[in-house]
Chain A
Amino acid sequence: MTVTLAELCIAAVAEAFRTDRELVGTGIGPIPRLGVGLAKLTHSPGLMMTDGEAYLVEQPVPIGPRDYDARKPAGYLPFSRFFDSAVWTGRRHAMVTPTQVDQFGQTNLSALGGTYEQPKVQMLGARGFPGNGIYHANSMFIPMHSTRVFVEGEVDRISSPGHNPARRIAGGNYSGIDLRKIVTNLCVMDFGGPDNAIRVVSLHPGVTFDDVQAATGFTLIDAVAGETPLPTSEQLDNIAALDPHGVRHKVLKDNPPATPAN
């Protein structure tokens, strides 16, 4: 079986969630969720996950169709206490897929263009992004790395805060902003540059730094330490068990292999 780029991304997500703490890991979308599950089953057993509805599970729930009761609750974390328990206590790391991301790590899930009263394109709304961004660790997964996502200047609406000195008010406490990793279909990036600038830290096989820069609307720092590692066979077995229906194969356009054919 050829290892796919989706599986390489899942392993990279798992690495982004590596922790020795006990905290809630939330991956929104198949690849982030599989990555959190993989981290929990391998190097980071302290991670806590829900079944996607209300119960905490120690065995991550496989994605895709399953029986409603095919879960073994070990705990309870409904939305009705999510802010009390996970978000506003800082005991969470989430990975999401915003529509736009800018050089400061500010994201947009709200709307594109137009005005507050009349956007050109209405999207989901800010959801929990503002609170996530000010209170706990956050990472991103971007399945199609492009200048449409990684925009020049600033995002159209700031749904979650980033490292932008122009968006600070005197006396505000921004110490909870904790931007970690951005995993895309091209590379892995972090916020380790001067003043938290975004750096490319690993390139997926066959991708060059120039490819990534050309697909990004702002200047990136080249801190490439090597290729993003391929998943191990143990990781691949875990991924297959967490995704028995192959949902991961439908996320990236044309489901490319991890290592491009020459």
Chain B
Amino acid sequence: MSGLDKRMSAAEIVGQLESGMTLGIGGWGPRRKPMALVREILRSDLTDLTIISYGGPDVGMLCAAGKVKKLVFAFVSLDAIPLEPWFRKAREAGQIKILELDEGMFQWGLKAAAFQLPFLPTRVGLGTDLVELGGLKTVQSPYEDGEVMVAMPALKLDAALIHVHRCDHRGNVQALGPDTYYDEWFAKAADKAFVSCEELVPAMEDAYPEDAQANIFERCFVTGVTEAKGGAHPTSMPPAYGWDMGWFKSYTGAAKDPGDWASVQAQMVGASEEDYLASVGGIDAVGALPLPIF
């Protein structure tokens, strides 16, 4: 049974990652981001990472801290603050390599990786700058139509980081809320998926059998689980809590003044997760953040 006990600490999860790896980060913009795990990476000496993300503050912080060699993205945004300030600084300084994609191509690349295919064909990208600037190739249909399409390469991940509401010790997950975005495909595109959760239970069938449909990917895709209450903060985790707009405003302000990450990392990341949660008012304050209205 020990092989099916996938519990780890956040530090043990980050200990399984290596500099130079390709990491997929679940969630979408300022929503459902595995921020506790991202903060643990920020506390580590990992570097030269290729980050694949529907980007929010995860991307901004990792870019600001100089952890990113290459970014694969379709946007990086904090929603109500449309332009992610630290990502913008890194880009305008020419600090990172990029592959800019369309949101649909992006999930198509994750699906190609999940299905162990080298690419999947699509019309998306035709007539835009993404194909030529991104070095994407085309492929011709072998059938009578002979259509030429973009060959979206597999976005193979060394590891995926995902935050959900519930996990059990064996890696059964439950992701609640109105939308789980592409977390399922991040998990399946990765050699190893590590999942943090608001609540870790010994056995899902005993704790929450009535919510089995929230099991958005199966446990065979899960390598490690860890409990991180408030682990999506400052991003939203409906129905548990909303995003922290006050936090985003000070984070955005800090990109201008003082404008250098080294002097604000301690405040934005904390020396430990306990330290971080205390700095934002504790788990009760996180739980009280109102859900965003769109």
Interface of A with B (CB < 8 Å)? Answer: 51-55, 65-66, 68, 78-80, 83, 87-88, 106, 110-111, 114-131, 133-135, 157-162, 164, 167-174, 176-177
Contact = CB atoms under 8 A, between A and B. Distances in A.
Given A117-B97, A161-B128, A125 B75 contact: yes
B128 A160 contact: yes
A35 B114 CA distance: 40
B178 A55 contact: yes
A130 B130 contact: yes
Contact of A125 (B74, B128, B146): B74
Nearest to A175: B123
Interface in B78-123: 82-83, 87-88, 91-94, 97-98, 100-105, 107-108, 123
Q: Determine which residue in A68, A125, A127 has the highest number of CB atoms from chain B within 10 A of its CB, and name it.
A: A125
Contacts of B291: 68
Given A51-B294, A161-B126, A167-B127, A131 B92 contact: no
A170 B127 contact: no
Contacts of B108: 83
A176 B123 contact: yes
A124 B75 contact: yes
Interface stretch (B5-13, B41-49, B179-187, B218-226): B179-187
Contact of B92 (A53, A120, A130): A120
A233 B77 CA distance: 38
Given A51-B294, A116-B98, A169-B138, A88 B104 contact: yes
Main secondary structure on B side of the interface with A: loop
Contact of A79 (B88, B92, B98, B181): B181
Given A117-B94, A123-B83, A124-B75, 14 more contacts: A79-B182, A83-B103, A83-B104, A83-B107, A115-B94, A122-B91, A124-B83, A125-B77, A130-B102, A131-B124, A162-B127, A167-B128, A172-B148, A173-B126
Interface string B176-199: 001111101000000000000000
B140 interface: yes
- Interface majority SS on A: helix, strand, loop or mixed? loop
B140 A171 contact: yes
Contacts of B93: 118
Contacts of B129: 110, 157-159
Nearest to B182: A80
Interface in B159-191: 178-182, 184
A36 to B, nearest CB: 14
A131 B178 contact: no
Size bracket, chain B contacts: 35 or more
Contacts of A88: 104, 124
Contacts of B138: 169, 172
Contacts of B180: 78, 80
Contacts of A128: 74, 102-104
B79 to A, nearest CB: 10
B73 interface: yes
B75 A126 contact: yes
Contacts of B251: none
A122 B137 CA distance: 25
A118 B178 contact: no
B181 A122 contact: no
A53 B148 contact: no
Interface string B27-64: 01000000000000000000000000001000000000
Contacts of A170: 148
Given A80-B180, A134-B123, A176-B123, A159 B97 contact: no
B273 to A, nearest CB: 28
B290 interface: yes
26 contacts: A52-B294, A78-B181, A79-B182, A80-B179, A80-B180, A83-B107, A115-B94, A116-B98, A117-B97, A120-B92, A126-B100, A127-B74, A129-B128, A130-B105, A131-B124, A157-B129, A159-B128, A159-B129, A161-B127, A168-B127, A169-B126, A170-B148, A171-B146, A171-B147, A174-B126, A176-B123
Given A122-B87, A125-B75, A129-B102, A172 B147 contact: yes
Nearest 8 A/B pairs, CB to CB: A161-B127, A52-B294, A118-B94, A171-B148, A125-B75, A54-B178, A78-B179, A130-B102
Nearest to A115: B94
A220 B108 CA distance: 38
B103 A172 contact: no
Nearest to B55: A125
Contacts of A130: 102, 104-105, 124-125, 127-128, 130
